[in-house]
Amino acid sequence: MRIRKALQTAKETSGRSFRCARRRTAKAADLAAALAIAILAVGFAQAGHAENVRRIAASRQDVQAKIGYCKDCHGPSAQGYRGYFPIPRLAGQQPEYLENQLRAFIEHRRTNNIMFNVAHTLNPGMMSGLAAEFKKLDPPPIGGAPKGLVAAGKKIFEDGVPDANVAACAACHGPEATGSGEIPRLAGQLDPYVIKELTNWGKERGQNPARPDTSAVMSPVAHSLNKSEIEAVAAFVSYLK
């Protein structure tokens, strides 16, 4: 009897010890989980803070200095440049579109070696600062497109090309071609630049299928317009203010 009682006592003691140990283990696991969550929270907070720092790092003086550099090619008022190689107007452009395109050069979604070299040196804060400054500029359009094409371009812009299943340009770019968000402003854009972009869309845009963006919607449109239609639309938007 004594032996049996001793065994029973030992068994009960062992059970209590096991339950205590299990509770201690559970508490330790809970503590470790809480600590891990806290570490992650701090990490995310620091990452968010770092991103905010990068976004606000560009001072007005730095932005203005970089704007001056951009204007060497894009013109003194960012109105664009007509030449053998047309350089686009940036004045009045939608900031979100400009920032997206700068990232597109960096991520090789859009191919342009010159702009890749320019864009990859810019942090998010500088991109935002530049885009905001360009939005404020409002020089008159350079013009120079054949005015005889404007009427046909206006019709395509407003009504599209139903026979080719091309929607009206105004449906996305707005009735005044001023764009919105990631949809670019076309008003006042140089006609040779618009012609070049629409003609070479598949060779310059969407070059990184793993990272598609809003420009993908233009691919079927660009491919469905013939040369004369592209030239007409380019002439029309180039004179818009």
| DSSP code at position 200 | T
pTM score of the predicted model? 0.76
Position 99 in a domain: yes
- Structural element, H or E, at residue 65: helix 60-74
- Name the β-bridge partners of 87: 81
CATH code (residue 188): 1.10.760.10
Position 150 in a domain: yes
Position 16 in a domain: no
* Segments forming the whole domain that contains residue 64: 60-238
Mapped onto helix, strand or coil, the DSSP state of residue 239 is coil
CB-CB contact of 89 with 79 (8 Å) = yes
Position 50 in a domain: no
**pLDDT, tens only, 105-148:** 999 999 999 999 999 999 999 999 999 999 999 999 999 999 99
9, amino acid identity? T
Please name which of 212, 226, 158, 193 lies closest in space to residue 73, comparing C-alpha atoms: 193
Residues of the chain with pLDDT under 70: 1-57
Position 82 in a domain: yes
Overall number of domains in the chain: 1
Position 219 in a domain: yes
CB-CB contact of 190 with 88 (8 Å) = yes
Position 33 in a domain: no
Please name which of 116, 173, 177 lies closest in space to residue 141, comparing C-alpha atoms: 177
Position 44 in a domain: no
Note the Cα 178 to chain centre separation in Å.
18
